[in-house]
Structure 1
Amino acid sequence: MTMMQNLAGQQNGPQHGKLAVSLPAWTYGSDELAELEYERVILPSWQFVCHISQVREAGDFATLDMMKDSVVVLRGKDGDLRAFMNVCRHRAAKLLDGSGSCKGRITCPYHGWSYDMTGELKAIPSQHTFPGVEKEKLGLKPVEMEILHGLVFIRIVPGGPSLRESFGEAADLLAPYRLEEMVPAGEPWIDTWNCNWKIAVDNNLENYHVPVGHPGYHRLLDSDLAGVINRHGVAHSVSVLKDKPSSNWAERMYQKMAPEVLEELDPETRRTWLFYSMAPNIGLDIYPDSFDIFQILPRTGTSCTMRYPVFVRPDSRGEISRERRVVQYLNQRINRQVGAEDRELCERVQLGMLSHGYEPGPLSNYEHAVVDFHNRIRAACPVVNQKQAPESGTVRRRNDALLAEDRPAA
C-alpha cells in the first residue's frame, strides 16, 4: 500500500445516508450576501499571497488584492518575512502594487509618508503640521502569516487553526513534490468569471463532473472521483497518468515525457497529480513538473475574481532545460483547456441558478466536500438557510438576528 493510499484511508470520506441538498438558489445571486460572506468567511480564512522564491531578498514584496482589502508580504533587511495591510496610516492610500523589490523604504504615493521594512513609520512630510503626532503608534497594521512547503499565506482576521494544522497529515503528501524549489512561471493570471464565487468553489470541490466536463482529464488520468476531506475542510484526490496513450497528441506526449524527464523525483511521483482544496476558496493543483493555485474571491452576487498563479520546476542546477519546458508547456496547454471548460460550466450554472422555479437538487456522495463547504457557509451566515431571499437591504440584519439567537445566554 502506498503512502497516498494509506493516508486516504485515515481521512473522512463521503457520508452515506440522507441525501444532502445544495444551498438555496437565491444565495448564488445576492450582492448583499456576497459582501457578508467576504467578511465572515473569507477574511477569517487563510489566503495565498506568493511563493517563497518571490520574496527571497531584502526589500522583495508581493501583494494580494481582495474585494475590499490589500495585503503586502515583504522581506526585511533583518531577513524576516512579515505581512501588513497594504494601506497608509494617514488617509488609506494603497501603498504597493503587484510584486517586486522596494529598496530603502515604502513611500506612500499620496503624501509621502514612509515606512521601513518592519512596518514602522519613519517619516512624515511637514511633521510639524501634525501637533502631538506619535509615529510609533502609526506603523503598518500587521497581518497573520504562515508558510507551508514554500507557500506564503495570510489571514486578515486572526484565530482558528494554523495553516499546518489545517492541512494535517495531508501536508505530508506534498513533500515529494518539493514545492519550495519551484519558481513562478510568470505573473498571476487574474480574470473575472460571470458566476457567484460559490459556484466556482462548488465546481472545484468535486470530481463528479470530470468524466463529462473534462474529457481531456478523462483520457489522461485515472482519477479518484470521491477524494477525502479532513475536519478543517482540506480535501484532496489522487490522479495517476493512464498507461493507455491518449488519443490527443499533447496528452499523449505528456504521458510519455513526464516520467522520463523529471528524473529527480521518484517514479510514483512523476506519474501522480494531486488536487487539493482548502476551505473556503482555494484549489491547489500539484503536478510533477509544476503546480498552480486556483484562488476564487467574491466580487458581486453574480461575479467572482479568479487568481491563478503557476509555478514550474527547475532542475537540480536551478535551470529549466528544453525538455522540461516542453513538459511544462504540455501541462499548461492541457490545463488551459480545463480552465476554459470550468469557466463555461460555472457560467452555465449561473445562467440556470436564478431561473424561475429552480429548486436545488440532491448532491452525490462524490460531492461530500461541497456539503462540507455549504455547512461552513451556513454556520457563518445562517441567513442562507432561508429558502426565499430576504427583502432587499435586510440580509445583514437578518443574519445578525439569527446569529444572536444561536449565541448562548450570558
Structure 2
Amino acid sequence: MTLRAVNDVGSAADPGANMGLPGWLYHDPEVYALEQERIFRRSWQLVCHLSDIPKAGDWQSLAIGNESIIVVRGEDGGVRALSNVCRHRAARLVDGEQGCAKKLICPYHAWTYELDGALSGVPGKRDYPAFDMKDYGLHRFATEVWRGFIFVRIEGDGPSVAEMMAPYEEDVAPYRFEDMRALGRVVMRPRTVNWKNIADNYSDGLHIPVAHPGLKRLFGPGYGIEATEWVDKMYGPLLDGVPGSSSEALYRKYLPRVDHLPADRQRLWIYFKLWPNTAFDIYPDQIDFMQFIPVSPTETIIREIAYVLPDDRREMRAARYLNWRINRLVNAEDTTLVARVQDGMASDSYTQGPLGNSEVCLKSFARKFRVLIPEARQPKRPPMGWSAQSVAGRIS
C-alpha cells in the first residue's frame, strides 16, 4: 500500500524539518505547563453543536487545563462562552457536561448570574463597600460558530476556525454540518499517553497498511494524506468486492446512497485534524468528532461524539452500526500502538527519529510546535528549570 497523494502547503524554513519531535517532550512536566499556556489557552476548542443547546438556558461544558467553560444559549437566542467560576469565591457554578438553567446560581453563597453572565443577585449586598455589580459578571471567552459547531478560545488571537478550514470548505460543504444532530452523548476515554502521541498517530499515514488490516482492505492503495498550514487531511475511497470481515462486507453492502452528496463522496472516508487537537472523521453516514485533551504529561482524555443527519432508513441505521464496529477495532489497534510508542518515548536511549518525505502531517505538527516551544529543537531534555528561562526570554 502506498500513499496515493502527498502534499504539504505553507511550509516555513525549519532547521529540524526532517526530524520528529524528541522523546522527552512526551513526558516532561515543564513541557506540559508550557503547552497549556502557549497552545491550549490560545487555540480553538470544540464544545458542542448549536442543536445541542436549542433552548434558552441550555448549556454544555468543557474543561481545558485549569479552565472550566460553559457554553449557554441566552434569552436572546445568542450563544456565549462563560467561565464556570463564581466571581465571589471562585466556586464552580454548575456540575456535569450539560444542563438547563433559568439563571446560574452559585451553590456556595447564592450569587446569581443571568444567562448572558451579568451578575444580578448578591445576598447581603449592602455588606460590600463600593461594590458595583456591573464589574463582577462572569468572564467571557471568545466564541465562533463554524458550520453549526461552537468553538471557544480562552485567550489570544490568530486565525478563525473558518480561516483555518478555508482550504477545505468545498470538501466539507456538501455534508450539511449545520443540520446535524448528536448521535448519543459525549464519551470520555482516558488514555495513559501524552496527547501529542495520539495527535501524531491520527495523522500518520504510514502505519495504516501495517497496523490496520481492516482499513487496508477498505481502502487498498488509495489512502491519501496532505497538510495545509492549520489542517491535516487524510482520505480513502472504499473498495468494492474486496474480501474482509463481516462488518466491512456488510457496511459496503448496506451503506445507502446519500442524495445530497456528490458521486465521488458516496464511498469516501475523510479525516481532518484541526490544530492542535481536534479531529473529525467524515463518512457518508455520519461525522465523528474527537478532541485529545491533556490532563497531565502522560495522561489524555479523548472526548468524542458522533453527529448525523436525520435518516430513518434501515440501511442507514445498519451502516452506522457497522461503521461503529469497524472503528471500534481500529481504535483498539491504535490504543495498543500509541501505548507502545509512549513507553518507548521514556527511554533515555531514544532521542528523535527522521521523518520521510511522505510524512507531511507529522512535519507540519512538529514545525508549529517548535515555533511555540523552541526548546523542542533540543534532542535531550535541558536541565530542570529550563522553562522558567524560556518564559523570561519571551518576556524580555
1:109 aligned residue: 107
Q: Does 1:384 align with 2:382?
A: no
Q: Distance in 1 between the 2:371 and 2:66 partners?
A: 22
1:285 aligned residue: 281
Specify the code of the residue in structure 2 equivalent to 1:236: K
Q: Distance in 2 between the 1:351 and 1:9 partners?
A: 30
Identical aligned pairs, as a percentage?
A: 36
CA contact (8 A) 1:48 1:153 kept: yes
Q: Distance in 1 between the 2:125 and 2:133 partners?
A: 10
Equivalent runs, 1:185-204 vs 2, <5 Å: 185-204=183-202
Please state how far the C-alpha of 1:161 moved relative to its aligned partner.
Answer: 0.8
Of 83, 87, 90 in structure 2, the residue corresponding to residue 89 of structure 1 is: 87
2:143 aligned residue: 145
Q: Does 1:69 align with 2:60?
A: no
Of 33, 39, 50 in structure 2, the residue corresponding to residue 35 of structure 1 is: 33
- The normalised TM-score by structure 1 is 0.89
Please state how far the C-alpha of 1:108 moved relative to its aligned partner.
Answer: 1.3
Q: Does 1:331 align with 2:339?
A: no
Q: Distance in 2 between the 1:371 and 1:226 partners?
A: 16
CA contact (8 A) 1:208 1:226 kept: no
Q: Distance in 2 between the 1:30 and 1:299 partners?
A: 13
In structure 2, the CA distance between the partners of 1:183 and 1:69, relative to structure 1 (3 Å rule), is same
Consecutive unaligned residues of structure 2, counting only runs of 5 or more, are: none
In structure 2, the CA distance between the partners of 1:130 and 1:275, relative to structure 1 (3 Å rule), is same
Specify the code of the residue in structure 1 equivalent to 2:61: T
Please state how far the C-alpha of 1:385 moved relative to its aligned partner.
Answer: 2.0
| 1:27 aligned counterpart, secondary structure | helix
Specify the code of the residue in structure 2 equivalent to 1:267: A
CA contact (8 A) 1:119 1:140 kept: yes
2:290 aligned residue: 294
Consecutive unaligned residues of structure 1, counting only runs of 5 or more, are: none
Of 213, 234, 237 in structure 2, the residue corresponding to residue 237 of structure 1 is: 234
Please state how far the C-alpha of 1:80 moved relative to its aligned partner.
Answer: 0.9
Q: Distance in 1 between the 2:265 and 2:126 partners?
A: 62
Q: Does 1:162 align with 2:139?
A: no
1:249 aligned residue: 246
Of 359, 381, 388 in structure 2, the residue corresponding to residue 397 of structure 1 is: 388
Matched residue pairs, number? 391
Specify the code of the residue in structure 2 equivalent to 1:250: S
Q: Distance in 2 between the 1:280 and 1:144 partners?
A: 17
2:344 aligned residue: 352
Q: For 1:185-214, what per-residue CA distance to the aligned partner results, in whole angstroms no more than 9, with x for missing partners? A: 222111221111111111112211111121
Q: Distance in 1 between the 2:346 and 2:273 partners?
A: 26
| 2:288 aligned counterpart, secondary structure | strand
Please state how far the C-alpha of 1:25 moved relative to its aligned partner.
Answer: 1.4
Q: Does 1:310 align with 2:311?
A: no
Q: Distance in 2 between the 1:62 and 1:246 partners?
A: 43
Please state how far the C-alpha of 1:131 moved relative to its aligned partner.
Answer: 2.2
Of 341, 356, 370 in structure 2, the residue corresponding to residue 364 of structure 1 is: 356
Q: Distance in 2 between the 1:268 and 1:230 partners?
A: 22
Q: Distance in 1 between the 2:16 and 2:117 partners?
A: 52
Q: Distance in 2 between the 1:300 and 1:333 partners?
A: 30
Q: Does 1:221 align with 2:243?
A: no
In structure 2, the CA distance between the partners of 1:98 and 1:174, relative to structure 1 (3 Å rule), is farther
Q: Distance in 1 between the 2:322 and 2:162 partners?
A: 32
In structure 2, the CA distance between the partners of 1:245 and 1:224, relative to structure 1 (3 Å rule), is closer
In structure 2, the CA distance between the partners of 1:387 and 1:100, relative to structure 1 (3 Å rule), is closer
In structure 2, the CA distance between the partners of 1:171 and 1:395, relative to structure 1 (3 Å rule), is farther
1:124 aligned residue: 122
Q: Distance in 1 between the 2:73 and 2:56 partners?
A: 5
Q: Distance in 1 between the 2:10 and 2:254 partners?
A: 33
CA contact (8 A) 1:296 1:307 kept: yes
Aligned-residue CA RMSD in angstroms? 2.3
Q: For 1:129-158, what per-residue CA distance to the aligned partner results, in whole angstroms no more than 9, with x for missing partners? A: 222211101111111111112111111113
CA contact (8 A) 2:289 2:306 kept: yes
Q: Distance in 1 between the 2:243 and 2:59 partners?
A: 42
Q: For 1:37-69, what per-residue CA distance to the aligned partner results, in whole angstroms no more than 9, with x for missing partners? A: 111111111111001210122111111112211
- The normalised TM-score by structure 2 is 0.92
1:374 aligned residue: 366
Please state how far the C-alpha of 1:274 moved relative to its aligned partner.
Answer: 1.1
Specify the code of the residue in structure 1 equivalent to 2:159: P
Q: For 1:307-329, what per-residue CA distance to the aligned partner results, in whole angstroms no more than 9, with x for missing partners? A: 111222312xxxx3433221111
Please state how far the C-alpha of 1:18 moved relative to its aligned partner.
Answer: 9.0
In structure 2, the CA distance between the partners of 1:11 and 1:199, relative to structure 1 (3 Å rule), is closer
Q: Distance in 1 between the 2:179 and 2:268 partners?
A: 18
Is 39-48 or 357-366 further displaced after alignment?
Answer: 357-366
In structure 2, the CA distance between the partners of 1:212 and 1:14, relative to structure 1 (3 Å rule), is farther
Q: Distance in 1 between the 2:279 and 2:98 partners?
A: 25
| 2:140 aligned counterpart, secondary structure | coil
CA contact (8 A) 2:44 2:151 kept: yes
Q: Does 1:181 align with 2:172?
A: no
Specify the code of the residue in structure 2 equivalent to 1:345: L
Q: Distance in 1 between the 2:242 and 2:123 partners?
A: 66
CA contact (8 A) 2:203 2:234 kept: no
Please state how far the C-alpha of 1:221 moved relative to its aligned partner.
Answer: 2.1
Please state how far the C-alpha of 1:265 moved relative to its aligned partner.
Answer: 3.3
In structure 2, the CA distance between the partners of 1:384 and 1:372, relative to structure 1 (3 Å rule), is same
In structure 2, the CA distance between the partners of 1:377 and 1:314, relative to structure 1 (3 Å rule), is same
CA contact (8 A) 2:6 2:224 kept: no
